[in-house]
Structure formats: C-alpha cells, structure tokens
C-alpha cells in the first residue's frame, strides 16, 4: 500500500491519490451502508460503493504496483453497479487543479465517463472527464468539461487526442486560473499536450463541490451506457495545474516532482543575494 506515494513531496499539492493496490473490496458495509473499495493516500477520500456486485473488481493488474492486483476493473456495459464513489473533494474546484490517471479501455462505445461530479444532468455536473468520439471519422479522444460557479455556463468543453482499446494510456487535464477573468485548460495524453483552451469569462472560478458524490466510471443518473468499461490505475488529484514536466514524471514513474518555485520560496531570505547575482549575470543589471 502507498508504495508509490512515499516519495511524493509534501508540497506537491496532492488532494487525493488512489493506487488501487487492494486485491478485493470490503464485503462488510460501514455505518453508512457503504462498502470500502479503494484507499486514498491522504486518507480523506477513500472510494466506496453501495453494493458488492462484481461489476467492480480489484483483482486486476494496473500500470504501477502489484503485477496481479495493482489496478481496478469496471465492467461497464450497461451495468447499474459499475462505478465507485468518493466524497466531493473540497479545495479541488475553487481554483486551479489537475486530474491525472491511467486507463486501459476494453471497449469504447457511447461516451464513457472516467471521473466526474455525479449530477442529475450534465448541466448540474461541475466537472466531467470522459471519452468521446466527436464524429464518425474521428477516434475517441479525451473530453474535459468544466462549469462556471453560479451560472453553470461552460468554462471549458473540448475533446482532443486519440484513445484506443487494450493499451494503458495516461490521461490528464489541468485548469490554471491566470487572473479573475482568464484561465487556461490543458489536455494531456501519455504526457504529451494534445489540447489547450484559453478561458475568458466574467468569473473563471469553477463550481465548488456541487454534487453529493464524485464518481469514477459512471455518468448521469440512469445513463448506464455512459459507464466506462476497462481498467484504471493511479489516479491523482492536485490543487494546482501541474506543468507538462510534472505530468511527464507521473507518466514515467508515477512520482510527482517538487514544484519548481518552492526551492526559491524556501530560501527566500538566505538566497536573495545569491538569486539577485544570478539574475544579474543572466539578464543584465536589475532595475
């Protein structure tokens, strides 16, 4: 457990991380009638279900970790129990964030949802990360939808890149508020930037945790044909927009580098003179 979390820097901004190293889900409900499925390394957002059906299984391989049981499988295919839930992540949707994880789809049909705020309609979902085939000629791509707090208007809505079946692929989306009225969203597949949207709105603050639950592998109420079919592994949520280099670190070794700015912050007092000299050498005299 948490073998791949141990080296994560404390300042990396991790809000949640599920490594799915469990080999089975709990057969006994907790006091809320929920069955434990997967631990979050922060301890705050353990994933649970409302049943023990075999539509979700922990005895499947992942991308990282145990070779036999290091991932999780969702049956999809119209199953009404093929999903896992977590409590809404406070701090995720009031500002910058990144969602990243590994997927290995078994089938691709309809609009498989990977991770979303589970609302009663698309309009009531604060965020959705799913797979979409935009038209008959295009491959399935990575979709990211994010709604504005207060109005529900779309801040972000797009599908980019190419997703295939039967291969592990790393998917990530980030949201970076540049100012009160501007932001930028990025889509990554296997560490490569595949899409960017510049956001301009009266307020670029996304919904807070609007739903009663966040959910993996399930979309809206009743729309079981939106359930994802396949494997997942190593999903992370961060409270900031990771750089492409940091996302590359997740792809290469499932590790998160220390944010680049923190070294300077940490030595701000002692290093001010040194940093000033460095800048002078690099850029000419400071004004």
The residues that touch Ca ion, with contacts defined as CB under 5 A, are: 19-20, 22, 58, 62, 64-65, 69-70, 233
Alpha carbons 71 and 65: distance in angstroms, whole number: 8
- Assess contact for 86 and 167: CB atoms under 8 A: no
Shortest distance in whole angstroms from residue 110 CB to Ca ion: 25
Nearest residue (CB) to Ca ion, 129 versus 231: 231
Shortest distance in whole angstroms from residue 157 CB to Ca ion: 30
Shortest distance in whole angstroms from residue 77 CB to Ca ion: 20
- Assess contact for 72 and 32: CB atoms under 8 A: no
- Of residues 233, 260, 234, 232, the one with CA closest to residue 246: 260
Alpha carbons 118 and 132: distance in angstroms, whole number: 18
- Assess contact for 104 and 168: CB atoms under 8 A: yes
Shortest distance in whole angstroms from residue 67 CB to Ca ion: 10
User: Which structure tokens are listed for 109?
Assistant: 């049909």
Nearest residue to Ca ion, scored by beta-carbon proximity: 65
Nearest residue (CB) to Ca ion, 47 versus 220: 47
- Of residues 129, 153, 287, the one with CA closest to residue 216: 129
Nearest residue (CB) to Ca ion, 69 versus 189: 69
Nearest residue (CB) to Ca ion, 18 versus 207: 18
Shortest distance in whole angstroms from residue 59 CB to Ca ion: 6
Nearest residue (CB) to Ca ion, 4 versus 127: 4
């Amino acid at each position: 457990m948490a073998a791949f979390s141990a080296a994560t820097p404390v300042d990396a901004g991790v809000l949640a991380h599920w490594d799915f190293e469990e080999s089975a889900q709990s057969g006994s409900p907790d006091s809320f009638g929920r069955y434990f499925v997967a631990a979050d390394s922060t301890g705050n957002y353990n994933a649970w279900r409302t049943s023990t059906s075999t539509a979700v299984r922990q005895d499947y391989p992942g991308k990282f970790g145990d070779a036999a049981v290091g991932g999780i499988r969702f049956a999809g295919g119209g199953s009404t129990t093929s999903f896992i839930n977590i409590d809404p992540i406070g701090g995720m949707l009031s500002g910058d964030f990144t969602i990243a994880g590994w997927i290995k789809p078994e089938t691709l049909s309809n609009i498989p949802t990977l991770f979303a705020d589970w609302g009663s309609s698309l309009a009531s979902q604060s965020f959705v990360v799913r797979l979409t085939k935009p038209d008959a000629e295009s491959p399935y791509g990575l979709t990211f939808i994010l709604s504005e707090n207060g109005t529900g208007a779309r801040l972000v809505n797009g599908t980019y890149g190419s997703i295939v079946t039967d291969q592990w692929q790393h998917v990530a989306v980030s949201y970076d508020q540049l100012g009160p009225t501007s932001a930028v969203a990025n889509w990554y597949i296997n560490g490569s930037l595949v899409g960017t949207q510049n956001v301009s709105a009266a307020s670029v603050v996304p919904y807070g945790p609007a739903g009663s639950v966040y959910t993996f592998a399930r979309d809206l109420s009743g729309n079981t044909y939106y359930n994802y079919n396949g494997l997942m592994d190593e999903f992370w949520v961060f409270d900031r927009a990771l750089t492409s280099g940091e996302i590359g670190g997740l792809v290469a070794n499932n590790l998160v580098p220390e944010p680049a700015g923190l070294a300077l912050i940490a030595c701000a007092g002692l290093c001010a003179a040194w940093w000033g000299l460095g800048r002078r050498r690099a850029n000419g005299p400071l004004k």
